[in-house]
Amino acid sequence: RPVQSVAAAPASSLEKQVSLFSPSKVNLFLRVVRRREDGYHDLASLFHVIDLGDDMDFGLLPEGATSETLECSDPTVPTNDSNLVIKALNLFREKTGIKRFFYVNLDKKVPHGAGLGGGSGNAATTLWAANELLGRPATTAQLLKWSGDIGSDISVFFSHGAAFCTGRGEIVEDVAPPLPLTTPLLLVKPPLGLSTPTIFKSLDLARRSQRDPRELLASMTEAGQKGVRALQEFCVNDLEQPAFDNLPQLAQLKTEIGHALDSSAVFMTGSGSTIVAVGSDTAPACLLDPKHKDLFISPARLITRKSGEWYKPSGMWSSS
Ligand code: C5P
């Protein structure tokens, strides 16, 4: 057998390995509270982790390795230091002082520029995996706190799945899931993604919702017990208007889905460009029109994790 180098990361050279599901998220509501001096915005948002996710394999490279190996199924994803997976591993070494390197294989399924936090989920999953492979030198609370240094919506993945997030998004308060976890979701994304900084930049603060975020949280939780239709008025997203200004077809898509699924709550997640329908997981006939042939369409479920465990897919789709 040829001798393989560490850079090629043969399974035999890995001391320990773990495979994890890397989930994504939706924002059930998103209020922008204010523009900050540092260029960011203070938010108040109800996040929920969902089971649309990537598959990630991790291995601990032998002592003495001095660089990471990241492989990705999507050739358009950079695998250098700009990737949040590498940023997460650099952060982990810096915070723990443990100078070990990793092999990571990322099988991408979550689209980017989607408002689904796919890359953020990868970063969170990477911090969890590195900590597992090294015998848990850090607590979950530490991973949550550290993760805020490399992105705004990574910390939410260290909640139990449903969280009210404030600050840039990195201040995380666990809440009870506002809806039964069996509630069907449909995710619909046009081929064009949206860039988060662009959307925040084009936000006109005067056109925001006036609703108080804590009141929204309480109302949504109450409405969630009554059924999904009652949710619609609370699914506000202050980034919808700037997203629609940047991508006018998105407003049309939301309207079309809203009409077709009139017993669902329909809204945009994060900074777009995914439209979420809560209450159905079947694409309505109008989306099967040839003009929509390039849409990304996926069913999904809300998921939570148990203390000390990482997220697993809901298992909802394995039998069909
Ligand atoms: O923190 P993250 O790297 O995910 O943010 C990407 C960009 O989105 C930031 O550089 C900023 O322009 C914008 N952003 C913001 N306010 C937030 C989160 C993100 O303005 N709370």
* Structure ipTM: 0.96
Say whether both 149 and 212 belong to one domain: no
> Does 311 map to a domain?
no
pLDDT tens per residue, the chain (320 residues)? 333 334 455 666 888 999 999 999 999 999 999 999 999 999 999 999 999 999 999 999 999 999 999 999 999 999 999 999 999 999 999 999 999 999 999 999 999 999 999 999 999 999 999 999 999 999 999 999 999 999 999 999 999 999 999 999 999 999 999 999 999 999 999 999 999 999 999 999 999 999 999 999 999 999 998 888 899 999 999 999 999 999 999 999 999 999 999 999 999 999 999 999 999 999 999 999 999 999 999 999 999 999 999 999 988 776 54
Domain shared by 199 and 168, yes or no: no
Q: Which residues constitute the domain of residue 285?
A: 185-300
- Residue 17 has which token pair? 């390995």
Do 163 and 22 fall within a single domain?
yes
| Catalytic residue selected from 54, 57, 153, 281 | 153
- Which SS3 state, helix, strand or coil, does residue 238 take? coil
The number of beta carbons lying within 10 Å of the beta carbon of residue 320 is 5
Residue 7 lies in a domain: no
**What CATH number is associated with residue 218?**
3.30.70.890
Left if phi > 0, otherwise alpha if psi is -120 to 50, otherwise beta: which for 64? Answer: left
CATH number of the domain residue 31 falls in:
3.30.230.10
For residues 25 and 157, membership in a common domain is answered with yes
Q: 85 with 60, same domain? A: yes
Out of 145, 174, 203, pick the residue that ends a domain: 174
Q: Any bridge partners for residue 104, and if so which?
A: 58, 70
82 shares its domain with 217: no
Do 148 and 193 lie in a common domain? no
Residue 115 alpha carbon to ligand 1 centre in Å: 12
3-state secondary structure 23-50: EEEEEEEEEEEEECCCCCEEEEEEEEEE
Is 61 within a domain?
A: yes
The answer as to whether 106 is a domain residue is: yes
Global confidence as pTM: 0.95
- Cα distance between residue 109 and residue 262, in whole Å: 28
Indicate if 207 and 114 belong to the same structural domain: no
Within-domain flag for 309:
no
Asked if 52 and 194 sit in the same domain, the reply is no
Q: pLDDT (tens digit, 9 = 90+) per residue, 25-80?
A: 999 999 999 999 999 999 999 999 999 999 999 999 999 999 999 999 999 999 99
Model confidence pLDDT, tens digit, residues 148-171: 999 999 999 999 999 999 999 999
To test the pocket of ligand 1, the residue of 152, 165, 195 to mutate (highest count of ligand atoms within 8 Å of its CB) is 152
